[in-house]
Structure 1
Amino acid sequence: MEFINGVPLFSSLFLFISFLVIIYLQLAKTKKKLHLPPSPPRLPIIGNIHQFGKLPHHTLRDLAAKHGSLLLLKLGRYPTLVVSTAEMAKEVFQKHDAVFSNRLKTKAMDILLYGGTDIAFSPYGEYWRRVRKLCGVELFSPQRVESFQFVRDEEVELLVNKIRKASINRESIDLTKMVFSASNNIISRSILSRKFEEEHDGGGGGEVLELTRLRRFMVLLTSLSIGDAFPGLKWIDYLTGFTQNVKSIFAELDEFLDQIIEDHRNLKTHEEKKDFLSIMLEIQKDGGIEMELTQENIKAILLDLFTGGLDITSTIEWLMAELLNHPNTMRKVQKEVRNMAGNKAKIEADDINKMDYLKCVIKETLRLHPTAPFLIPRQTSAAVELSGYHIPSDVAVFVNAWAIQRDPKWWDKPDDFIPERFENNGVDFKGQDFQFIPFGCGRRRCPGLPFGVALLECLSANLLYWYDWEVAAGENLDMNEGDGVTGNKKIHLRVLPVST
């Protein structure tokens, strides 16, 4: 008989196997005790991926209606929690905000945003706190937003004049492209003190950062690749071209951003009027936020700011499309805008502040068409109990803002465009009313909200003040969304401006 340390081999094996069985039973017992959120039926290996569809915020809203306001899905290797009601969102962000403040890291995000060192996608921690504070003070504070009013006025005047040429000639315009050009020039002048786009054919498509390129960037950034869901199959991302597409657009944008930064280093900026990039370069050189700010960090932050123009463009095109679809509402908001502005040569910021119905129209547009239907996906940093359910650590979290903002429990006729629902109504988008969260909520809500809202109000007020609008001859007013989770219209908005 063989012995191990004086104990018969058979007895040793028996004890070892018994130990493994006990451990397995204990783990099974513990797992059984966990009260996890409901899960729709899933397929082997792929889990619930097949249930996402081309518009995941739509299909997940339907799944939530069948299975509950909290769903636990499996996307390949990712356990994924989907939050679909205001009540659940409130519990998440009021009681457990810190646990839900991390970001889900994907292959595309890691490449496109320099390892996630921007503001929106960076991990929750000291780096994020410092760069958010930097942007909040130097770019998004009320005082800084107000100081950029002259930039908004000048660029909007240029936009109005471009549209006037088309109006005189009775030519239709691609309003999507024109608004993108104006909004990105405003953003660029605010952070760089100069425009970065070259205008082509009066449409404003930038030579490097044109609309289609940035939208492709956003589609890739918000995509979950095969390799993300199944690490052992990441080679498929090369066969499908996903990896090459991500690296290609990264190379293009990286070269562009390097050139912007190099050009800026060679500029002589007035000491009393430094722009945001100058401040970041000064911090990089001398310190100032008690951490290293690398070239990659600066480029990641700049990308966040430039892509903000996409959100503005998407909201304006949806707003104008909804108004064209609802001519009585169009006339009502134009009457307010024109009465408040009078016969001035330009609309003043004080005039816009008094345009209450315009603000209702903007809110209703954001309610129906949030620019990020799932906000930005998060990831739990620890296990937590949520509404009686056990939520494990490292679970991806999708907050379906699109579904929440169309919940009939909170909204009468939820799929209809009715700006009047916000009249004499204190519901706002600042993150405290969880039935209306287009800019997110909790500590990771969009820091650029003041900047973005000021730009939205300025652009929409001027478009409605100076022109009447018609659908271009031969064009259909298509109200379909583009595939995926970017929230933009599927087809650019082509319209005919009519001078008043």
Structure 2
Amino acid sequence: MAVSVILLLLLSFIIILPFLLSSYKSRSKSKPNAPPGPRPLPIIGNLHQVGPIAHRSFYILSKTYGPLFRLNLGKVPALVISSPSVAQQVLKTHDLAFCSRPPLITFQEYSFNGCDVAAAAYGDHWCNLRKIFILELLSSKKLPSFVSAREQETQMMVESIKARADDKSNIFIAGTDTSAATVIWAMSELMRNPAVMKKAQRTVREVVGNKGKVEEADLPKLRYIRFVINETLRLHPPLPLLIPRETTQHCKINGYDIDPKTRVFVSAWAIGRDEESWENPEEFNPDRFIGISVDYKGHDFKFLPFGAGRRICPGINFGVASAELALANLLNAFNWELPPGTRKEDIDMFEAPGVVAHKNTDLCLVAANN
């Protein structure tokens, strides 16, 4: 019986082998004007070259193949973009060709069968949905209506920490959404850079005075907190790889031919570390934003934490206001220390696997009431 099964499997393999080889040759053979990229393997394509933290794997590959390279994710052709100049071509010059979404299983499961504003394919449905979303929920005029909710949630967070601060308990700062992730990364960077922490706290406390808490009306006066958030978003964008796009038509990028139905990954993480755009890109330095007009609203292609073009994140204003308010209150209400025996160099600055850039390990700090 066992011999029969082995012979059957062997015969099946011999039959399908020519088809596998033919498929491999056709897929691994580069088109005359295709972007550069690593040679794919049969069936899996280049999946063996993509680790659990995909944006770091893509960053390493970009050092060999350049800021625009192709690879196969199984049978799916894909492009990875990792420089401001190429991102501008994709997100602005040829935005219409790159503005749709691929039919991902994740979208089907968690985005109303791929029909919400983030996941829907480009078309009339998405255009109408985005218009409603922006005008009725997240426009600059609607933003003030959420102020009380944001302030209440922030105050609840502060009170919860105060309850544990008196006994010097270790406090694990963690969160699930993108705004929380940004605050956690900001606190991690501030703990690694004490001079920046002191400057940020001094700025907040001078503005707040004896009020005891930061209100949203104070945020326009806290420009340095905005710079801290900007620098955090540069090094730790909420989505290191922007939500994938899919080409709807043939186009040329950097002189290369890009076919329809190509999946496109724009690496905001790599762009924020572009050496031609940022001096000492690995250094956390909020002062770099002083006196320059760079913002996160998709106008500057060297700084794309929320994307650009038609598919830019519609919740930018809401998310940034939430992060700024939370961070400012944490800096105003508490003096922060690392647990005994922990050095600033010991703080883990790697990301956990996943779409959102959460820290690989929770940030553990000791808070003392100010």
TM-score range, shorter chain: 0.7 to 0.9
* Correspondence for 1:418 among 285, 291, 295: 285
Question: Which range moves more in the overlay, 389-398 or 135-144?
Answer: 135-144
Two-structure CA RMSD over aligned residues (Å): 1.7
Tell me the amino acid that sits aligned with residue 279 of structure 2: D
Measured after TM superposition, the shift of residue 61 of structure 1 is 1.4
Counterparts of 1:253-332 in structure 2, within 5 Å, are 310-332=177-199
Distance 1:163 1:484 in 2: 28
Cα deviation for residue 340 of structure 1 reads 1.2
Aligned to 2:352: 482
Q: Report the CA distance between 1:44 and its aligned residue.
A: 2.5
* Partners of 2:143 and 2:54 in 1: CA distance: 35
Alignment partners' CA distance in 2, 1:407 and 1:431: 16
In structure 2, C-alpha distance between the alignment counterparts of 1:50 and 1:479, rounded to whole Å: 25
2:236 corresponds to which residue? Answer: 369
Q: 2:99 aligns with which of 98, 101, 105?
A: 101
Partner SS for 1:139: helix
Tell me how far 1:371 sits from its aligned partner.
Answer: 1.1
Q: Partner of 2:47 in structure 1? A: 49
- Equivalent residue for 1:409? 276
Aligned with 1:148: secondary structure? helix
* Distance in structure 2 (CA, Å) of the matches to 1:470 and 1:346: 20
Bigger Rg, structure 1 or 2: 1
Cα shift at 1:453: 1.0
Match of 2:57 among 59, 78, 91: 59
Deviation at 1:32, TM superposition (A): 8.4
Q: Which of 334, 340, 360 lines up with 1:467 in the alignment?
A: 334
Q: Which residue of 2 aligns with 1:165?
A: 163
Residues 57 and 485, structure 1, Cα contact 8 Å, conserved in 2: no
CA distance in structure 1 between the partners assigned to 2:340 and 2:291 by the alignment: 38
- 2:307 counterpart of 1:437: no
Aligned to 2:144: 146
User: Where do residues 83-94 of structure 1 align in structure 2 (5 Å cutoff)?
Assistant: 83-94=81-92
Cα deviations across residues 4-32 of structure 1 (Å, max 9, x unaligned)? xxxxxxxxxxxxxxxxxxxxxxxx9xx98
| Maintained 8 Å contact 2:182/2:236 | yes
Q: Secondary structure at the match of 2:80?
A: strand
1:137 and 1:461 map into 2 onto residues whose CA distance is 28
Structure 2 Cα separation of the partners of residues 487 and 481 of structure 1? 6
Q: Which position in structure 2 is the counterpart of 1:174?
A: 172
Q: Partner of 2:278: helix, strand, or coil? A: coil
Q: Secondary structure at the match of 1:103?
A: coil
Provide the TM-score with structure 1 as the length reference: 0.66
C-alpha separation in 1, matches of 2:265 and 2:92: 17
Which letter maps to 1:64? S
Looking at structure 1, the residues matched to 318 and 281 of structure 2 have their Cα atoms a distance apart, in angstroms, of 28
Instruction: Give the one of 191, 200, 203 matched to 1:333.
Output: 200
User: How far is 1:347 from its partner?
Assistant: 2.1
Aligned to 2:261: 394
**1: distance between equivalents of 2:66 and 2:30?**
20
Query: What is the SS of the residue equivalent to 2:248?
Result: coil
Shift of 1:477: 2.4
Does the aligned pair in 1 maintain the 2:102–2:245 contact within 8 Å? yes
- Match runs of 1:199-214 below 5 Å: 211=176
Q: State the match for 1:38 in structure 2.
A: 36
1:360 aligns with 2:358: no
Task: After TM superposition, give the deviation of residue 34 of structure 1 in Å.
Answer: 4.6
Matches of 1:495 and 1:404, distance apart in 2? 30
Is the CA contact (8 Å cut-off) linking 1:55 and 1:485 kept in structure 2?
Answer: no
> Under a length normalisation based on structure 2, what TM-score does the superposition of the two structures give?
0.88
Deviates more, 1:62-71 or 1:458-467: 62-71
Contact preservation (8 Å) 2:171, 2:364: yes
1:350 match: 217
Cα distance in 2, alignment partners of residues 383 and 480 from structure 1: 37
Q: Which amino acid aligns with 1:311?
A: T
Task: Tell me which protein shows more helix as a share of its residues.
Answer: 1
Which residue matches 1:447? 314
Aligned length: 340
Within 5 Å, which residues of 2 pair with 1:69-88? 69-88=67-86
Runs (5+) with no aligned partner, structure 1:
1-27, 181-210, 212-309
Does the Cα contact within 8 Å between 1:471 and 1:477 map onto a contact in 2?
no
Q: Report the Cα distance in structure 1 between the residues aligned to 2:273 and 2:145, rounded to whole angstroms.
A: 36
Which runs of 5 or more structure 2 residues have no equivalent in the other structure? Answer: 1-25
Offset of 1:484 from its aligned partner?
Answer: 4.0
Residue 491 (structure 1) aligned to one of 352, 361, 364: 361
For residue 458 of structure 1, what is the amino acid of its counterpart?
A: L
Q: Deviations over 1:156-182 (max 9, x none)?
A: 222211111111222122221xxx4xx
Deviation at 1:65, TM superposition (A): 1.6
**Percent identity for Structure 1 against Structure 2:** 40
Compute the displacement of 1:483 (Å): 2.3
